[in-house]
Amino acid sequence: MADIMCNRGVFRVPMCGQEEIEQLSRDGSHYSLSTGILPSLGARSNRRNQLRRFIISPYDRRYRAWETFLVLLVLYTAWVSPFEFGFLKKPEGPLSIMDNVVNGFFAIDIVLTFFVAYLDKATYLFVDDRKQIAWKYTSTWLAFDVISTIPSELAQKISPSPLRSYGLFNMLRLWRLRRVSSLFARLEKDRNFNYFWVRCAKLICVTLFAVHCAGCFYYLLAARYHDPAKTWIGASMPDFLHESLWIRYVTSIYWSITTLTTVGYGDLHAQNTREMIFDIFYMLFNLGLTAYLIGNMTNLVVHGTSRTRKFRDTIQAASSFAQRNQLPARLQDQMLAHLCLKFRTDSEGLQQQETLDSLPKAIRSSISHYLFYSLVDKVYLFRGVSNDLLFQLVSEMKAEYFPPKEDCNFAE
C-alpha cells in the first residue's frame, strides 16, 4: 500500500516504504486503527506515483519542520494573547512588532495550505487537485485562520466602540492552539519520544496555560472596576495601577496558583460581586482540571510500577509456598532465581515472544534466520543437512533463558 512518492519540487521528498508507513501511522491515517474508517477487504490502491506540480505532501519532512516552527509561535501566542488582553490598554512597541511578525508567518501558512494535499478519509487517497484543496480549506478553517491573523491595530479601528479594547481581538488567536494538540497527538505515537515525558509535558502545558489565563482575566476585573480600592488586588496594594507591570503580573499569577492548588492563604481574595462570581467558576473549573491531572498522573505512575508490584507479589507467593512446604534451600534458590530472571528478561526487553508471535510468519522467519541460523549451522548434528531444512528448523526456534545452576528439562 505504500506506493506514494512525491515528485521533485518545493517541499517534496520521496516518501516510500517504511518511512511513509511510519509517518502515516503517527497521524491517524489509513495505517492507524485509532481514527477513520478501515478500507474494505480486497481494496486496491489506484493512487498516482506522483503528486501534481507545486503540490506539497503533508508528510514531507520540510513541511513537518515548518509546522513545528509554527507550534513554537503558537506557544508565544498562548502567552501573549491573555497577557495583552488583561494588562495592556494600548499597543506596546516590542510586543506589537512581535505580534505582527508572528501574524505574518501564519499568513504565509494560510497561502501555503492551499497547496498542501490532504488524505481523503473516505477513499484513503491523496487529493492533490487544487480546486478540491481550496474548497476543503475554504469550507472549514480558512475563516478562523484569517480572523486570527488580522493585526490588532486594524481590528481596533474597524471594530464597534464596545469591542475596541486592546487585546480583546487577540483572544481569537487562541484558535491556533489546535496545532499544539495535533503536535502532542503526533509525539505520543512517535517512537523517538518517551511517552511518559510527552504526557507530562502536555499536562504541564495545560496547567500553566490555565494558571496564566486565570491570572490575566482576574486582573482585568480589578483594573476595569469603578473603585480600584475595592478589588482583590487593590485591598492589599491600594495604588496597584501605578505599580510596575512585572509586580502586577506576578501578583496575579500568585493568586491563580494559590487558588488552583487550593492553598488559599487569604491574603488575596474577592472583594466585590464580580470577583466572587469569577472565583466560583474558576474553582469549579479547577475541580475538573485537578481530576484530569491526578487521573492522568496516576495512570502513568501505575502503568510504570505495575510490573514491579506484580513481580514482588510473585516473589512473596513463591517464598511462602517454599516455606509452607519446607522445600530444600536448593529448590528455593532455583525458584527465586527463575522468577528474577524472568522479570529481568521481561523488563529489559529480552523476552519478546509475544511480539514475535504477533508478526506475520514471513517476518518471524526472517528474524529467526538472522538470530539463530549461524548458530545452528555450526552444530555438528546438522552437518550435511540441507539449508532448506535448517531454515525451516530455525523458523520454529524460540529463545529461553535459564539462571545459573538450574536443572534444565528439555523433554517438553
Look at residue 122 and tell me whether its pLDDT is greater than 80.
no
Distance between CA atoms of residues 114 and 136, nearest Å:
9
For residue 287, the SS3 value is helix
The answer to whether 219 touches 86, Cβ cutoff 8 Å, is: yes
Distance between CA atoms of residues 135 and 81, nearest Å:
30
Distance between CA atoms of residues 351 and 349, nearest Å:
6
Distance between CA atoms of residues 28 and 77, nearest Å:
27
- Quick: pLDDT tens for 144-159: 899 888 887 777 777 7
Distance between CA atoms of residues 233 and 162, nearest Å:
25
- Quick: pLDDT tens for 383-403: 878 888 888 888 877 777 666
Query: For all residues of the chain together, what is the average pLDDT?
Result: 80
Residues 6+ apart with CB under 8 A from 349: none
Least confident of 61-70, 117-126, 295-304: 117-126
- Please give the grid coordinates belonging to residue 73: 509561535
